[in-house]
Amino acid sequence: MYVAVGQFAVTPVWEENAQICIDLMAQAWRKGASMLVLPEALLARADDDPDLSVKSAQPLEGGFLQSLLEASTGKTMTTILTIHIPSAPGRAVNTLVAIRDGVVIAQYAKLHLYDAFNLQESRLVDPGKRVPELIDVAGVRIGLMTCYDVRFPELALNLALKGADVLVLPAAWVKGPLKEHHWATLLAARALDTTCYVVAAGECGNKNIGQSRVVDPFGVTVAAAAEGPALLLAEIDTKRVAQARQQLPVLRNRRFAPPQLL
């Protein structure tokens, strides 16, 4: 199957961001993609207000997601993104949502909150409490992750041991010393740890790096974007997954018990 990865700079206005997503969905559909992965926290973002994503939180029934659901109606393509959903006054849950044909088919509350590099996502965001179930896209098993999750190999391995062939990762990877190196290294490492494809969408703009990537099960980057808006298209070949697992059977050769959520 073919997957698309869209990256753009999120604006402070949710209606504008919804329209960008809808436009990317239309482009990906025309290109024959079975799945489109978009970045993290797409409701709103502003350089002078780091809390805007949480302040702009909407329920699943809100205007942002409903407009995307309407645009997806009648189409078999699966679109994956994250938004903030209100959890308590002034707080939210960073929630990955998968939609297809007008329906939310899966959602996942981000497990690992970005309390690192002098930032503290947990100040306003509540963590998830469960490992997400796999979803099926065109017969391919997809594992769901979000941004900072990529630094924790236990989640990727848990999903691979459940049967994932592909790991998707909406992200808003913050710029900083060595951060681009970390991003590229971690995506390749998770692909090699699990012999899965990794499909990562990065938000771009003044504070985040963009650099969306598709990495194959041998750790080879097969599609990549730079720092500006882009739409990537890449083929996911399950024969490549089978080849990697035959030549590099790390999932079979493990000596440790499967990782479990605390």
Active site residues: 40, 110, 147
How far is C-alpha 228 from the geometric centre of its chain's CA atoms? 18
Nearest to 147 by CA among 92, 189, 203: 203
33: CB partners within 8 A, 6+ apart: 2, 3, 4, 77, 233
Sort strands 103-109 and 125-126 into parallel, antiparallel or unpaired.
unpaired
Q: What is the per-residue burial (b if ≥16 Cβ within 10 Å, else e) of 168-182?
A: bbbbbbbeeeeeeee
CA distance 88 to 91: 5
CA distance 179 to 174: 7
